[in-house]
Amino acid sequence: MKKQIFLTAIAAFTIVTICSCSRAHSDATINNAWNAPNTVVNSFNEYDLVASNQYVSYTIDVSTPEGKTKLHKKSEKQANELALAEAVIKYKCSMLINPQFTHLKKGKKILRVTVFGQPAYYRNQAPSVVYEQQSGDNITINNNIQYHSHKKKTGKRKRRR
């Protein structure tokens, strides 16, 4: 009976030790995350967006070998994104304003997707650079992060007896 109580006490002590060690590790990680400074980079460019008066359309169809390859196992959303990206490339524009999509489906398969929209181009790039530097604000970050590499052992392990 005393043996069982002793073994139970050792098991409880071991569990408490393991839990408290892992909690201390996670607390250290959380504290490092809260103490890390937030870095904000303000960088932007100003452009004029010029929309064309003409509307364009682009179609991907499975009747062509190229279209069959492009639409193979694509969802409707993926097919829309593909058609939009290829329309922008084909018409050498920056974006399509108000793109509208039409689909021809057979079950879940998409046989044809067409995008229709107004091409727009960015013009007159005027970079805006704003530097804000306050004297005496030097920040040094040292979180004591340790990286461990886990290499696989190629040899066989020897068993201890």
pLDDT at 123: 86
Rounded CA-CA distance 21/91 in Å is 61
pLDDT at 14: 77
**pTM (global) more than 0.85:** no
The residue ranges of the chain whose pLDDT is under 50 are 22-28, 133-138, 142-143, 147-149
pLDDT at 5: 80
pLDDT at 11: 76
**107, 98 contact by CB (below 8 A):** no
Q: Which residues have C-beta within 8 Å of that of residue 10, sequence separation ≥ 6?
A: none
pLDDT at 53: 93
